[in-house]
Homo-oligomer: A and B are copies of this chain.
């Protein structure tokens, strides 16, 4: 149900006040006071985020993944290539950009698979997930504060990484599930 329809829903919470708390480089934080369906008021802690893209990319039948340290988790994770949207950026262009920057591969074509909310209880972040299996060599270009390595793994390796906890995040788990389904049925 989109935002317009949501306003007519019996559970809709009207904003009474928005209190900005923090404005960061990646996220910002606000506390909204809302009118509940029963007429009472409540507060909602909301992390604003510009949205992100992720790419499920197969190189000769293997999944391109990047290994990086994730400070919020204090863990090294293996994930599919991903990154946040620049202001005003088209998600498909962002997906092509992030893929090449992080893996050094350029996609000749790319296809939108699914968009999803990562943690709707406290953030508006949506990830747009794309698929490609048409790759040509391009050029790695990491941000100044970005450290990662790229590898291409088989479905069996991906499943082992999940068991070992090296693949641990929602977007990569979703991509691996889609890959399993594709390997069983030929389609997503």
Contact = CB atoms under 8 A, between A and B. Distances in A.
Interface of A: 1-3, 5-6, 9-13, 21-22, 24-27, 29, 31-32, 34, 36-38, 40, 42-47, 49, 52, 67-77, 79, 82, 84, 114-127, 144-145, 147-148, 162, 165-166, 168-171, 173-174, 177-178, 180-181, 184-185
Contacts of A144: 40
Nearest to A67: B11
Contact of A170 (B74, B174, B184): B174
Nearest to A148: B11
Nearest to A185: B184
A21 B40 CA distance: 28
A118 to B, nearest CB: 4
A47 B71 contact: no
Nearest to A177: B177
Contact of A24 (B31, B38, B127, B169): B31
